[in-house]
Amino acid sequence: MPTAVPPAPTFTRLSSEAVAQRILLIRGQKVMLDADLAEMYGVETRALNQAVKRNLERFPADFMFHLSKEEKLEVITNCDHLAKLKFSVALPYAFTEHGALMLGNVLRSERAADVSILVVRTFVQLRGMLSTHRDLAAKLEALERKIGGHDQAIAGLIDAIRQLMSEPTPKNRPIGFTAKVGK
């Protein structure tokens, strides 16, 4: 008997975790693709892209960019939920944090406002986690340097203890008191 395939997740109740799973690192920037944002905002991707095209002056290059064919292929390969993009002729838009927020303003719905706030909060949380990880990495590096100096000191102590434990080398002198008799 065939098993039922679970439906794709719908974003009726969004959470920061659900949003964070949709954030990708492309060209060194954390971005979200138009298909994911459209699903979250409750509109079709086509409608979202039309709203963007009508308001292009609100989306400078640091807010949004088109993926290249290679980037699109990589995204499709690595993200199962974006497999539907494989058959799309158009290259998807990638929106930065600011672009996702601007989408909420352009779409002008209550849901869009709520979703854009959640998206921004998620980006802020990720940025905070990243800075925490950087601080932790710096502390670990300092600890490694400190321990590296301890290794040399411990090795010196072990050598000194071994020297103390080794048998003394005899000197060619007789043991005891010997008196010199007259001259």
Per residue in 49-73, pLDDT tens? Answer: 999 999 999 999 999 999 999 998 8
Q: Which backbone phi and psi does 50 adopt, to 5 degrees? A: -65, -40
- Average confidence (pLDDT) over 97-111: 84
Q: Is the pLDDT of residue 20 over 90?
A: no
Residue 1 confidence (pLDDT): 41
**What pLDDT, on the 0 to 100 scale, is given for residue 4?**
45
Q: How far apart are CA 13 and CA 42, in angstroms?
A: 11
Domain definitions of the chain by residue range: 16-129
Q: Which residue has the higher pLDDT, 99 or 15?
A: 99
Q: What is the DSSP letter of 162?
A: H
Mean pLDDT of all residues in 8-34: 76
Confidence of residue 9 (pLDDT cuts 50, 70, 90): very low
Q: How far apart are CA 41 and CA 35, in angstroms?
A: 10
Residue pair 88/34 in contact by the 8 Å Cβ criterion: no
pLDDT band at 174 (very low <50, low <70, confident <90, very high): low
Cα 139 to Cα 169: distance, rounded to the nearest angstrom: 48
What 3-state DSSP class applies to 94? strand
84 vs 178, which has greater pLDDT?
A: 84
Instruction: State the fold for domain 16-129.
Output: Mlu1-box Binding Protein; DNA-binding Domain (3.10.260)
For residues 102 and 63, the answer to whether their CB atoms sit within 8 Å is yes
Euclidean distance between CA atoms 148 and 145, whole angstroms: 5
Q: Which residues contact 76 (CB under 8 A, 6 or more apart)?
A: 82, 83, 85, 86
Task: Work out the pLDDT band at 149, boundaries 50, 70, 90.
Answer: low
Distances in Å between the alpha carbon of 165 and those of 18, 158, 159, 160, 162?
Answer: 64, 10, 10, 9, 5
Structure tokens at 166: 């080794």
| pTM of structure | 0.60
- The pLDDT value recorded for residue 108 is 77
